[in-house]
Structure 1
Amino acid sequence: MSDGEHALVDTKGKFVQVVSDGRKRNDIEWLPGRILLSNKRLVLATNDGKRTIPLSKVSSVTASQMNQPLAQVDSYIKVQAGRNVTLISAKKADEFQEKLYSTLLDQTVVLVNHPAVKGGVVQDGGWEKGRLKLDGDCINLAIASGTFVELDIDDVGTVEAKEKTIRGDERPLLEVEHTIEGTSVETHITGTPRHVSLIEGLVRQGEQRNIADDVDLSDKETQVLMALYSGISPFKIPEFVDMEIEEVEDVYDRLMESDILEPVRTRREVQLEARGRSIASDAMADQ
């Protein structure tokens, strides 16, 4: 290894290059081999040779579950470097993915607006510099003003990716919905196209786990969801939606059975799961 380079992960697995120099390959065949990750490069080695991917060239990493054409593996990550795309299925999948994202993103400086939205209401905050660090399934953002934002990937409800004029320049923007102390908030993040793309690949995993499937909710259940999403205390919901306490508690029970709410304390304090926030957000958009 070169000066300053050190190994992070050494595992076995399978890999295949599906796009070469911008062209899709038809002869897709998973190759078994050794997967080595250092702080500078990713090496995929077989008995016939090895291929090296400099981490500085990696512009996108996304995780995927098994689909029919690629059914030889349970899951894989897609790594794009320049005009080449490689699928990698590592035996130590969680460790490999965590180390790869950390190496690519740790100490990255981005612009952050937090909270840009709180309880469905747009806030007056502005853009500040923030330094990003990964800690397991959490994205930690240390904001220049002293604020510390902990974004739990499993808590991500929705992610919107768009282009927007920020500080006079057209920039890629991520709008990430999650919770702070039980209240739905949006943290907005912008930076270089490469950094935003890498962060998007990470937070999309949480969104996919919590995606709002079609759920048949009654009008009363929808009212309760939207009230909670707006930041109304669970104890004030009956008065807010003009329902009896017992009726609201029945709604809570049904929503907890559907994994839309989770109990916080024994006597009917609840908060929205990420899936519930996604459903509530969709319901409010339809109003």
Structure 2
Amino acid sequence: MSEGIVADFVGQFHTASIAGPEPVTGRILLSKQRLVLAHDGGKTTIPLSAISDINVGTVPPSMREFFSDTISLAYSIDDDREIAVIESGGTNVERFKTVLFKTLLEGQTVKIKHPAKVGGRVTNADVHNARLALASGVLRFRGRAGGFSIDLSNVTDFARETRELAGTDRPTIAVTHMDGRTAKTTLVTLPNARKLNLLARYLRLEYESVMKDAAELSVAPEETEILVSIYSAGGNVALNDLVTGDVASMQVVLDALREKGLIADQGSGLVLTPKGQVVVTERVESVNT
């Protein structure tokens, strides 16, 4: 590999060229053009342009006994769709996921409408071109009209839709995220369907991580009541309006919610964090269904 290497580590992997279901141990090298999985018996070279999907933690049934912490790549060479499964120790898989997505998507030209919605209000924002950049946990968009970022830990929802952008119906990703105490929706589309699919996968993996953290939280009824009160007030409420009755008991509940990362102090009031927004939305929807 003559081009610059952006990742180089040792792990286990399996590809279609390896006989049997058992993985082999070898070297995993990623450049800006290709991924190479090299072992004593040979190597598999995957052009990055051939990768159509990436998943974390999902292993084909025939290989589940051999893998645990994995990243799986779907790719096509000569019209044959193949799967490569990679596993490594420590934090290698998580770091490799970030580097791989960054290598695949960095610098792509996208069309964006930002913000398309503020709260529940549809805006008349223009659609314009921007360059996409990925940093650690952040999507950045830079164009002639300026730039903005979406902190992926602030994403509360996203969906793939068909939207009219710049006079044409296009496959689009609608990303809802918190900007301070305000929910905003940004519309993003790429001219390349494969790249749009990869961006959607990256967002889904990040969003599922937030959802998993939220689902694993134990939230007591009195804590849920506070979250719903803040949610009903538009995501922000003055502390004096919230604290009634036994102040000491209420403070214990508020401290527990702060410790769980579900609320935060803002000025003289309290706001839902993105994780708190996810938790309370899930609770409200479960009550309404």
Q: What displacement does 1:254 show?
A: 7.7
TM-aligned CA distance change 1:281 to 1:87, over 3 Å: same
The answer for the alignment partner of 2:151 in structure 1 is: 152
The answer for the alignment partner of 1:84 in structure 2 is: 82
The answer for the alignment partner of 2:231 in structure 1 is: 226
**What is the count of residue pairs matched by the alignment?**
272
Aligned residue type for 2:232: A
In structure 1, C-alpha distance between the alignment counterparts of 2:74 and 2:210, rounded to whole Å = 25
Of 194-203 and 273-282, the range deviating more from structure 2? 273-282
Q: Deviations over 1:36-87 (max 9, x none)?
A: 1111100011111000000111122222278986254442222121222222
Aligned residue type for 1:213: A
Aligned residue type for 1:70: R
In structure 2, C-alpha distance between the alignment counterparts of 1:14 and 1:137, rounded to whole Å = 26
The answer for the alignment partner of 1:269 in structure 2 is: 269
TM-score, length of structure 2 as denominator length: 0.78
In structure 1, C-alpha distance between the alignment counterparts of 2:112 and 2:169, rounded to whole Å = 15
The answer for the alignment partner of 1:175 in structure 2 is: 174
Of 246-255 and 198-207, the range deviating more from structure 2? 246-255
The answer for the alignment partner of 1:259 in structure 2 is: 260
Q: What displacement does 1:284 show?
A: 7.0
The answer for the alignment partner of 1:106 in structure 2 is: 106
Aligned residue type for 1:234: V
TM-aligned CA distance change 1:280 to 1:187, over 3 Å: farther
In angstroms, what is the RMSD of aligned CA positions? 3.5
TM-aligned CA distance change 1:254 to 1:194, over 3 Å: same
TM-aligned CA distance change 1:273 to 1:65, over 3 Å: farther
Q: Deviations over 1:115-168 (max 9, x none)?
A: 22223333332322121111122111114311x221122222222123334334
Q: Is the Cα contact below 8 Å between 1:14 and 1:89 reproduced in 2?
A: yes
Q: What displacement does 1:205 show?
A: 2.1
Aligned-pair identity (%): 24
In structure 2, C-alpha distance between the alignment counterparts of 1:41 and 1:126, rounded to whole Å = 36
In structure 2, C-alpha distance between the alignment counterparts of 1:105 and 1:89, rounded to whole Å = 22
SS at match of 1:157: strand
Q: Is the Cα contact below 8 Å between 1:63 and 1:201 reproduced in 2?
A: no
In structure 2, C-alpha distance between the alignment counterparts of 1:268 and 1:224, rounded to whole Å = 16
Structure 1 residues not aligned, in runs of 5+: none
TM-score, length of structure 1 as denominator length: 0.78
Q: What displacement does 1:213 show?
A: 3.3
TM-aligned CA distance change 1:87 to 1:101, over 3 Å: same
Structure 2 residues not aligned, in runs of 5+: none
